[in-house]
Chains A and B, each alone.
Chain A
């Protein structure tokens, strides 16, 4: 039996998001944790395993636990970049299955919108990259996009279609950061930042925190919410610095996607929705390809066909994702929360009909780390 078979997701919540100058990063983590515990019908004092990271706090789990005055018996602050929270699902499952904790919280918070209005990153710049003036992380994604265009004929219009489609979902999401519809022409007319990526090829920069609570399936039976189950999961990486990415057009999703689907015994065609990491418009194209939703080079035309938009047969990033909903530095916890909400049927106008199973895929750094999870509505 896989460790994932032992666990259930029983609580999920966001802090105040978007522009939240009344909250610090730890304040957002604490608020989201309190809301997620309420959602689950648990007390914060029940938490005995923490899986947390934020670039604001070097010893994140200690700062987080001090804030809440909890003294868990299991700490994990693994840092794989923005995909980390999807990877934490597996880590929490392993710890729970081993009996090292029973109620695990996965949490994050960032005040980067209120701080600076731009990405706040604790990331070091590689000694070998320092002299060249590349913008991190956008220039790394730009290099990836340029190579994808060269190899597969992907166009600036294809990239723009991603921003347009995700914005279409955001128009249905009441608390999305950007809600005004945009067109391909709007994206292409926005200022070029690091070619081929324009301003509107880039994600929102917001405040935000979140928390997800995981426990045993046995304990989940006595809790308030219908559980969400994790049918498969995987984590991996291809590089740290973009110069070391062996093939700029193939991400670690090509490892983690197939592995997660294999564990779940499901295929991309079985998914009712996809929540994927969309800090820049090239990412959703490569992720859909690498996870097997289409062949290499076909994701641009797939997006242009409208299939991923509201009403399409392959709903992707149903709240608008990082491009339009919120992107507080590390996104994948918000992808998880949206997947949980879809599986619970809480999504109002943007609800995917009969959503029973979906895939969440995060990337970390500049398409460096990756983690995939297949989630399903429990009984």
Chain B
């Protein structure tokens, strides 16, 4: 009998977990490696979503990977004063936020390039890309005023 976690996560050299995407989930991370925020767009109704094989608005299976603008707005945020996961001890305080992308989907991300105390709901942000343990993902930073 084998033992496998339902949520595998390798560990990067910095001790932080690295996601192990499966199937359609890979589009998000593969896009980030190329410097793109990759979403799913429905050919039937035009809705954008985080990676999926069935459109969550009209339930069409006619969907494609598409590149988003990489811009959005902070919908909410929290400043972590204690490490929320192993490996983040040296990062505190750090900002985890929900960003509503201009195409509609909302994602959890890290806000970088700004003092935590300066972060505000409604702040316009754009994507930057980080690679950890060979897996790339977007983080967001405030747009220049």
Q: Which residues of A contact B (CB under 8 A)?
A: 124-136, 138-139, 142-144, 146-147, 150, 191-197, 241-244, 248
Q: Please, which residues of chain B bring their CB within 8 A of the CB of A147?
A: 75-76, 121
Q: Which of A129, A143, A191, A243 contacts B78 (CB 8 A)?
A: A143
Q: Judge if B130 is at the interface, Cβ distance under 8 Å.
A: yes
B50 touching A128, Cβ below 8 Å: yes
**Is B21's beta carbon under 8 Å from chain A?**
yes
- CB neighbours (8 Å) of A136 from chain B are 84
**Which residue of the partner chain A has the closest CB to B122?**
A150
Chain B residues positioned under 8 Å from A143 (CB to CB): 76-78, 96-98
Partner-A contacts on B (CB < 8 A): 6-7, 9, 16-22, 25, 28, 50, 75-85, 87-88, 91, 94, 96-98, 106-110, 121, 130, 132, 135, 137, 139
Is there contact, CB below 8 Å, between B16 and A194?
no
Q: How many Å from the CB of B75 to the closest CB on chain A? A: 7
Note all chain B residues with C-beta closer than 8 A to A139.
Answer: 78, 80, 84, 96
Q: Give Cα A192–Cα B80 distance, bound, in whole angstroms.
A: 8
Known: A143-B76, A248-B75. A130 touches B9 (CB 8 A): yes
Q: A194 and B79 in contact (CB under 8 A), knowing A128-B28, A147-B121?
A: yes
Q: Quick one: which of A125, A127, A144, A243 has the most chain B CB within 10 A?
A: A127
Task: Other than A131-B16, A191-B82, A248-B75, give 16 A-B pairs with Cβ distance below 8 A.
Answer: A127-B20, A128-B28, A128-B107, A131-B130, A133-B91, A139-B96, A143-B76, A143-B77, A147-B121, A193-B82, A194-B79, A194-B80, A194-B96, A243-B98, A243-B108, A248-B98
B79 partner residues in chain A, CB cutoff 8 A:
192, 194-195
Complexed CA–CA distance, A129 and B21 (Å):
11
Query: How far, in Å, is B46 (CB) from chain A's closest CB?
Result: 19
Report A32 CB to chain B, min CB distance, Å.
29
Nearest residue in A to B7 (C-beta to C-beta)? A124
Please judge, given known A-B contacts A128-B50, A134-B84, A143-B98, whether A242 and B108 are in contact too, CB under 8 Å.
Answer: yes
User: Which B residue's beta carbon lies closest to that of A142?
Assistant: B78
A135 contacts B80, C-beta separation under 8 Å: yes
A243 to B21, CA, bound (A): 18
Q: Is the CB of A146 within 8 A of B84?
A: no
Considering the chains assembled together, what is the distance between the CA atoms of A127 and B88 in angstroms? 17
Provided the pairs A124-B7, A150-B121, A248-B75 are in contact, do residues A131 and B19 lie with their beta carbons within 8 angstroms? yes
Within the complex, what minimum Cβ distance (angstroms) separates A120 from chain B?
A: 15
Cβ contact of B80, chosen from A134, A146, A150, cutoff 8 A: A134
Contacts of A192 on B, CB cut-off 8 Å? 79, 81
Closest to A133 in B: B88
A16 to B82, CA, bound (A): 32
Looking at B6, B79, B83, which has the most chain A CB atoms within 10 Å of its CB? B79
Using A147-B121, A150-B121 as known contacts, say yes or no to A131 and B18 having CB atoms under 8 A apart: yes
